[in-house]
Copies of this chain bind each other. A is one copy, B any other.
Amino acid sequence: MIAVAYIGREPMDAVSIGNRGLNYGDGVFETMRVHRGVLPLWPRHLARLREGAGRLGIAMPDVGVMEARIAELMAGADAGVLKLLLTRGEGGRGYAPPLDAVPTWMLSLLPLPAPQGALRLHACETRLAMQPALAGIKHCNRLEQVLGRAEAERAGCDEGLMRDMVGNPVCATSANLLVLRDGRWTTPPVDLCGVAGVLRGWLLDQGLVALASLSMDDVESAQALALCNAVRGILPVRALGAREWPTHPAVADLQKRLAMATPMFSEARETA
């Protein structure tokens, strides 16, 4: 991993103990796929970063400077994952956010994860709390996802399906959920909990997927399930607990449509 932190424009080796990200998870982040030295989905990631920073009242760093440092870091990288982490910075009296905080932001370049076959999901016992003030944005308060993912690992599964407090499915720990019903792809809303994934947003905007509130019965009786995120693209699901699904052509069709628009995902499709 190559990593660098900035306070304003100044590069730093590491992060101070007083950083509010470390103390309170007081920040937002983006995890983005690098393809041939660029970030094809950058405008959508930047929009979500702005939205998250705005809702939390965190100042946005100079975007030009940020883009220049990102370009330097990923120059020559054919493929990889670029993580951008933005925290409110330091200071303040306890939880009270300082009005003049200089945000701290960090970049790290990581290898692209190995391609995976169809996924086995675990239905997590850890539920997502309903919090409209934080829903949708990719903030750094992620203990629910950490607990959910730990459950999935203990169950020997690839990912965890997370439900809200009512018991309705919302998303996976690090991907959104796509559910094929009556030949149409749907995805649950994320206005009370969950993250509005960048690839989910693209699929909704293209009309390839529609919003739908779903029950666990709806998911278990679906024709097919898939997960999506901006690093791995569209991933077929082969099992949720004891329920198994054979390969469904609608998954390959969705992968093909995505690959046509965003070629970086064509490789993932071939290896999936």
A interface residues with partner B (beta carbon < 8 Å): 1, 3-5, 13-27, 29, 56-57, 85, 87-88, 93-97, 106, 108, 113, 126-127, 129-131, 133-134, 139-150, 152-153, 165, 173-174, 193
Contact = CB atoms under 8 A, between A and B. Distances in A.
Contacts of A1: 18
A216 B139 CA distance: 30
B144 A87 contact: no
A131 B226 CA distance: 27
Given A15-B19, A94-B149, A96-B152, 14 more contacts: A3-B16, A14-B15, A15-B16, A17-B108, A24-B141, A25-B25, A25-B141, A95-B149, A96-B146, A96-B153, A97-B146, A129-B131, A139-B143, A141-B142
25 contacts: A1-B18, A15-B16, A15-B17, A15-B19, A17-B85, A21-B22, A22-B85, A22-B87, A23-B85, A23-B140, A23-B142, A24-B25, A24-B140, A24-B143, A24-B146, A25-B141, A26-B142, A95-B142, A95-B145, A95-B148, A127-B131, A127-B133, A129-B130, A133-B144, A140-B143
Contacts of A24: 25, 140-143, 145-146
Contacts of A93: 113
Contacts of A129: 129-131, 134, 193
A214 to B, nearest CB: 21
Contacts of A94: 149, 173-174
A25 B134 contact: no
Contacts of A146: 20, 24, 26, 56, 88, 95-97
A140 B142 CA distance: 10
Given A24-B145, A131-B144, A145-B95, A57 B150 contact: yes
A67 B22 CA distance: 22
Given A133-B147, A148-B95, A174-B94, A5 B26 contact: no
A95 B143 CA distance: 9
Contacts of A14: 13-17
- 10 closest Cβ contacts across the A-B interface? A25-B25, A129-B129, A141-B141, A14-B14, A129-B131, A24-B142, A95-B149, A3-B17, A95-B145, A22-B22
Contacts of A147: 56-57, 133
